[in-house]
Every structure is written in C-alpha cells, then in structure tokens.
C-alpha cells in the first residue's frame, strides 16, 4: 500500500527499500532513530535505573549484614565501597546523559553507566569468590545473568554497543575466574559456562528481534509523517507542514540574527489552462512547476510548498534581500522559458507564467505578518500585469486571514 504512494525524496522509504539487515541505518537517519529511542524509552529507562539502584542498595545492605556477621576487614570495606562507587557512578552517568542534547552523547553515557556497573559487579564477584569457596559454595556466576539483563534491557542504546559490552563482561569474568580458581573448582566452572553462553545468545537474539521491529516501526512512522506533510500531486510540503516548519525556521533565523525570505507564487490564467487543455494536463503543469521550485532550494533548511490549488510558497533560510530577488526573478524567467508550457489562452504570454511576491522578514516579525506583506506584493504583481516578481515593502499589508 505504502509503495503505491509517492515517496520521492523520503529518507525513511529509501531506507526501507535498502533494508537494515545489520540493524544500522544511513548516518542522519541513525541519529534520528537514536533520538527516537531515547525519547520513547525515557520512562522504562528511568524505571530501570530506579530498579537497578534498589537492587544495588539491597546488595549493599547484604554486604553490611555480611560485614557485621563475618567481619573480614579488607573484604567488607572493599565490598561496601564498591557498591557505593557503583551507585554514585550510575546516578552520575544518568544525570549527565539526561542533560546531553545530542543522542550520540546521551547514548555514550548509558554505556558508561553500564560499564561502571559491570566493572564493580565483576570486582565484587572476584572479591566474594574465595569467601564462597571457603563456605563450600561452588563458583558463583549468577551476577553475570543480572548484568546481561541490564545490558540488553531496551534502554535506548545501540544494539551493537550492547553486544560488545556483554561480550566484554562475559569474556573478562570467565577469563579472570579461570585464572584464579583452584583446579578443584574448575569442573563447576565448566558446568556453569554453557548456561552463561546460552543466556548471552538468548538475550542478544531477543534484543535483536526487538530492535528490528522497533526500527521497522520507526520507518513506517517516518513514512506516514512524511506523507501527512506532503502534497500528493507535487511532492512538495503541504500548507500545514509548511506553516509549521516555516514558523520554526523563522524563529531560529531570528535567534541567530539571519535573514528569512518568503516567496509566494500563483500560476497565471490557470483556469483558462484547465479549460483548454483539461485537468490532467493542468496537474502535469503543476507538477513541473513544483519541480522547478524544488530545484531553487540550495540548503536543507529551505522549504518549498504547494499551499493549495495553483498557489506555491518558498521559504529561504539565511537569505539576503539580493539573493531573494535573484531567486524570484529566476523562477519567473525559468517558468516561462525553461518549462515553456504552451498556454494558447493566456492574456499574458504564449506559455504558462507565474506571478510572484517576495519579502524579507523584519526583526521580530511573525510569519503571519510576513505572509500578509508578501501576499500583498503578489497581489500587486497580479494586478500590474502578471508574469513578474514584486518585492514586499515594510508595513504594506492587506487584511488576510492567516492562522499562526
């Protein structure tokens, strides 16, 4: 169903077409996916963090109880210190991670938090091992299971980082135990190892299928959002998406003291064109004009939209008055001479032409105010003969209902 719709220039559709067998998207989309994960799993991540802290506090209480009953000066002090360091490190990483603006950085702090948890757990397992052996308890590897669950828990970090960390934790703990265990304890160790490997593979597999499903869902959402904001005929933004994005772009430009230009265009004598050549030919002409406008965008932040019927708009970010004028004149020229769509019933020219109004935002001006001024310029272009571009002058407005 989605494949039948127009999905030109849609990175989500392109990625879906290419696939993501190794759970990796192309660079800009991967970053957007991480940001989505971090936002979507914010609540589970916080709950996971609280549970983890409670578990560590429980272990801390156990260590204090152990210290009170079988006080071993070096061991008890070291264990309690390790628990405290681990709780502090996790809280610290969570605090810094939450404050990062980039999803890549935020994700890094999740990994640092899990790494400190892994190191402290590994160190405490090693410290406990001689005591447990002394008490006749065989090799204890159960904390590794808990660690693996924490690492693979979907807390918004990249799958492959989770796999690397899990392998690092498992292999280093196995190696250390294999080196420090006495020969009598080795059979127990070999007996427990397959359980660990099975847990590692099982959790990695589950997380893989979860991540795969989340990625597929992310792409579908992206495609649907794109379609909701796209004009079906031309592939440009529709009015709603344009208003939303133009608003954000204007505010950003004003914060950065950069210029923003709005260009409004209307096809001349389009009713006569439809009447003469038919509606499908009219649609084709609108598509060609849409392409022409799209080609005028030089930066990723520039926007082109079909506002409705035969009305189009362009928003140029970080733009000077001179550049806006150049683009406006080029559009008028290219519409008539490059597209050169014959229009035998036009009173203006032998080909389809456009009328255009353009305006540069003034300091503190809202999008609605800029739109009104520019629309007045377009009105002047129409009333003074069509097939021309008129610049909006400051303060020139006609009453026009335009919602912000």
Ligand X SMILES: Nc1nc2c(ncn2[C@@H]2O[C@H](COP(=O)(O)OP(=O)(O)OP(=O)(O)O)[C@@H](O)[C@H]2O)c(=O)[nH]1
Report the interface residues with ligand X, using CB under 6 A.
233, 266-272, 274, 279, 282-283, 286, 309-310, 382
- Closest approach of ligand X to the CB of residue 287, in Å: 10
DSSP output for 19-55: --TTS---HHHHHHHHHHHHHHTHHHHHHHHHHHHHH
Q: Give the nearer residue to ligand X in terms of CB position, either 289 or 327.
A: 289
- What is the C-alpha separation between 252 and 384, in angstroms, rounded? 35
Q: The tokens of 65 are what? A: 């109880």
Q: The tokens of 128 are what? A: 């406990």
- Closest approach of ligand X to the CB of residue 350, in Å: 15
Nearest one of 164, 167, 154 to 207, comparing CA atoms: 154
Q: Which residues make beta-bridge pairs with 390?
A: 357
Q: Give the nearer residue to ligand X in terms of CB position, either 136 or 401.
A: 401
Q: Give the nearer residue to ligand X in terms of CB position, either 303 or 378.
A: 378
Q: Give the nearer residue to ligand X in terms of CB position, either 86 or 289.
A: 289
- Closest approach of ligand X to the CB of residue 37, in Å: 39
Nearest one of 98, 207, 217 to 151, comparing CA atoms: 207
- What is the C-alpha separation between 364 and 374, in angstroms, rounded? 16
Closest-approach residue to ligand X (CB): 282
Q: Give the nearer residue to ligand X in terms of CB position, either 67 or 233.
A: 233
Phi-psi region of 257 (alpha: psi -120 to 50; beta: other; left: phi over 0): left
Return the SS3 of 1.
Answer: coil
- Closest approach of ligand X to the CB of residue 9, in Å: 20
- Closest approach of ligand X to the CB of residue 308, in Å: 7
* Residue listed under structure tokens 């992206």: 222
Which burial class, exposed, middle or buried, applies to 146 when counting CB atoms under 10 A from its CB (0-12, 13-18, 19+)? middle
- Closest approach of ligand X to the CB of residue 382, in Å: 6
* Interacting residues of 27 by C-beta distance below 8 A, sequence separation 6+: none
Q: Give the nearer residue to ligand X in terms of CB position, either 187 or 278.
A: 278
Which burial class, exposed, middle or buried, applies to 229 when counting CB atoms under 10 A from its CB (0-12, 13-18, 19+)? middle
- Closest approach of ligand X to the CB of residue 401, in Å: 17
Q: Give the nearer residue to ligand X in terms of CB position, either 348 or 397.
A: 348
């Amino acid at each position: 169903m989605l494949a039948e719709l127009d999905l030109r220039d849609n990175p989500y559709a392109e990625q879906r077409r290419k696939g993501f067998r190794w759970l990796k998207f192309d660079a800009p989309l991967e970053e957007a996916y991480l940001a989505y994960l971090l936002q979507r799993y914010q609540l589970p991540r916080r709950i996971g963090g609280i549970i983890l802290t409670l578990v560590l506090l429980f272990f801390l209480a156990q260590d204090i109880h152990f210290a009170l009953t079988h006080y071993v000066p070096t061991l008890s002090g070291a264990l309690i210190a390790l628990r405290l360091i681990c709780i502090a490190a996790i809280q610290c990483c969570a605090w810094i991670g939450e404050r990062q603006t980039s999803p890549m950085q935020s994700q890094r702090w999740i990994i640092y938090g899990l790494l400190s948890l892994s190191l402290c757990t590994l160190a405490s397992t090693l410290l406990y091992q001689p005591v447990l052996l002394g008490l006749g308890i065989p090799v204890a590897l159960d904390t590794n299971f808990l660690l693996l669950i924490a690492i693979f828990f979907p807390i918004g970090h990249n799958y492959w980082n989770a796999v690397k960390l899990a392998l690092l934790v498992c292999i280093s703990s196995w190696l250390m135990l294999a080196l420090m265990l006495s020969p009598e304890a080795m059979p127990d160790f070999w007996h427990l190892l397959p359980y660990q490997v099975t847990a590692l593979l099982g959790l990695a597999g589950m997380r893989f299928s979860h991540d795969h499903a989340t990625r597929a869902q992310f792409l579908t959402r992206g495609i649907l959002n794109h379609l909701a904001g796209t004009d079906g005929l031309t592939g440009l933004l529709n009015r709603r998406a344009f208003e939303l994005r133009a608003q954000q772009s204007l505010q950003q430009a004003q914060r950065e003291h950069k210029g923003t230009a709005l260009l409004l265009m209307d096809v001349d004598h389009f009713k006569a064109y439809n009447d003469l050549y038919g509606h499908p030919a009219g649609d084709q002409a609108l598509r060609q004009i849409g392409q022409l406008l799209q080609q005028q965008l030089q930066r990723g932040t520039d926007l082109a939209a079909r506002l409705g019927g035969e009305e189009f708009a362009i928003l140029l970010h970080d733009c000077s008055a001179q550049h806006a004028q150049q683009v406006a004149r080029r559009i008028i020229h290219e519409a008539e001479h490059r597209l050169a769509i014959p229009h035998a019933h036009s009173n203006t020219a032998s080909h389809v032409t456009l009328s255009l109004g353009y305006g540069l935002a003034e300091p503190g001006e809202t999008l609605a105010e800029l739109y009104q001024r520019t629309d007045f310029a377009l009105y002047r272009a129409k009333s003074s003969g069509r097939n021309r571009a008129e610049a909006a002058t400051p303060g020139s407005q006609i009453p026009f209902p335009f919602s912000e």
